[in-house]
Amino acid sequence: MKIVITALSLLLITNLGAEETLLQTYQRELAFLSAQKRTLEKQQKDIETEFGNKVSKMKVDLKAAQDQLVRLSKKNELQSAKLIEAERNLENVENSNSLLETTLIQGKVTLNINDQDWKEIKTQEEKIQTILKGAVALLEIGGKVEVTREEFFNQRGALVKGDMLKIGRIASYGVTPVHTSMLMPVGLGKLKLTEMDLAEEIKLLRKGDEIPSLPIFLYENTSKGIEPKKDKSFYDIVEAGGAIAYVIVGLGLIALLLAFVRGFLLYGASRFDKALLTSIKDGNLELVKEKTLKGATPFDRVLSKTLIAKDKEREARENVIHESILGELNHLDKFGAVILVMAAVAPLLGLLGTVTGMISTFDIITEFGTGDPKLLSSGISEALITTKLGLVVAIPSLLLGNLLSGWSGKIKVMLEREALRLSNLFDKEA
């Protein structure tokens, strides 16, 4: 028993010593961890302080950079505005220089300064002075009326010599023993007499007497010819339109002829015996039977066939009536579809002429350029005239075609109505 108690006592003492050792170990670890925690907290606080300082510094730097960016943006805007203004001023200067060059060239041409003399003038100031001096001299000449002996062309194009009455540099009159009239430029410094005869007016003008009025032909210079506008005939218009214009005109003539023929046929088809139709309306069958229908008109032929079928059943008579009316349709609709087809084809031909004319114009532009508008006039004339002729042919053809079709429809309705009226009379008599 003692031995057991002693063993238990030893075991208890051993457990108590172990628990004390574990407690000390735990306390040492806790003290170490507490020290580590304090160290880490101090490091965290130092890091947060350092990071806060850096953030504050970066905010200050960012604000300074933003302010600098705003200043640079404003400066850039000012520089851009100055650049735009400089470009605008440069463009104005270039335009002014271009306008000045154009003015100088125009002055050179107007004053007839040759190229060699113009090249000898070095600076623009000298050129401007030369132009101004020439303009003053030109104004002095422009205020004078003088008579000189010079050569010019007569109305037939022959070169003749006669007195030339000059009104400055803008107008002149030619006086010859045969004809006296205004002069117009024909190019290369030459002038030509017009057709108007002004012999009496020029005599009064040269004497210094007053005259009621005097026609005048004004021109800028004599280097470029002027062609008076001529009244074009219908043949000239068609000739300018080319081959397609002739086709359109021919188509229009055929359509007009067919419309006239169809109108004549419909006029003949619309004729009827008024007394016979009145008797049918009044129900007088005896007068109808006494009439001799010769079949000269569609009314006569349809009513004649209706009379022949009077003894048949109503359905059979109506079949006869419809058959007889169908037989007249070929006569009533003659040339109607052809006229409408021509009305539809004419503008298409005009469009074809427009296309061919534009092709010709572009071919001329490819070969000669656009320097001379007269070279382009033939293609443009063909393009526009064919369209005009196509519409001129199509519109009347369409109107006439529809009017004649409406007239034909009215005749068909009258045929059917009167034939059915006659058929109803036969039913009443039966």
Question: What interhelical angle do 373-429 and 298-308 show, nearest 10?
Answer: 30
Helix (H) / strand (E) element for 268: namely helix 243-269
Helix (H) / strand (E) element for 182: namely strand 180-187
Helix (H) / strand (E) element for 175: namely strand 171-175
Instruction: List helix spans (H) across 270-372.
Output: 274-282, 285-290, 298-308, 314-332, 336-368
Question: Consecutive 10-residue runs of the chain (430 residues): their mean pLDDT?
Answer: 53 57 80 85 86 86 87 87 86 79 74 72 77 71 72 79 76 80 76 76 64 67 66 77 88 92 85 63 56 63 73 76 79 86 91 87 76 68 85 92 89 80 67
pLDDT reported for residue 2: 47
Tally: H helices and E strands in the chain: 12, 5
Burial class (CB in 10 A: 0-12, 13-18, 19+), 393: buried
pLDDT reported for residue 258: 92
Q: How far apart are CA 149 and CA 166, in angstroms?
A: 11
Contact between 286 and 316 under an 8 Å Cβ cutoff? The reply is: no
- Three-state secondary-structure class, residue 151: strand
Q: How far apart are CA 30 and CA 42, in angstroms?
A: 18
- Three-state secondary-structure class, residue 221: coil
The CB-side HSE value for 78 (13 A sphere, CA atoms) comes to 6
Beta-carbon neighbour count of residue 241 at 10 Å? 26
Contact between 174 and 181 under an 8 Å Cβ cutoff? The reply is: yes
Q: Dihedral angle at the C-alpha atoms of 61, 66, 68, 73, nearest 10 degrees?
A: 160
Contacts of 10 (CB under 8 A, 6+ apart): none
pLDDT reported for residue 251: 92
Q: Letter for the amino acid at 310?
A: K
- Three-state secondary-structure class, residue 40: helix
Beta-carbon neighbour count of residue 185 at 10 Å? 20
b/e map 292-305, b = 16+ CB within 10 Å: ebeeebbbbbbbbb
Kindly report the backbone phi and psi dihedral angles of residue 161, in degrees, each rounded to the nearest multiple of 5, phi listed first: -120, 135
Q: What is the pTM of this model?
A: 0.51
Ranges assigned E (strand) in 27-133: none
Contact between 361 and 376 under an 8 Å Cβ cutoff? The reply is: yes
The CB-side HSE value for 273 (13 A sphere, CA atoms) comes to 21
- Rounded alpha-carbon distances, angstroms, from residue 162 to 30, 176, 183, 238: 139, 5, 12, 41
Q: Running DSSP on this structure, what letter comes out for residue 181?
A: E
Q: Please provide the DSSP assignment of 49-118 as one string.
A: HHHHHHHHHHHHHHHHHHHHHHHHHHHHHHHHHHHHHHHHHHHHHHHHHHHHHHHHHHHHHHTT--HHHH
Contacts of 334 (CB under 8 A, 6+ apart): 262, 265
pLDDT reported for residue 149: 83
Q: Rg of the chain's alpha carbons, rounded to an integer?
A: 56
pLDDT reported for residue 166: 77
pLDDT reported for residue 19: 61
Q: How far apart are CA 36 and CA 18, in angstroms?
A: 27
Positive or negative, the CA dihedral 273, 274, 280, 284 is negative
Q: Letter for the amino acid at 103?
A: T
- Rounded alpha-carbon distances, angstroms, from residue 124 to 120, 127, 193, 298: 11, 5, 40, 93
Burial class (CB in 10 A: 0-12, 13-18, 19+), 376: middle
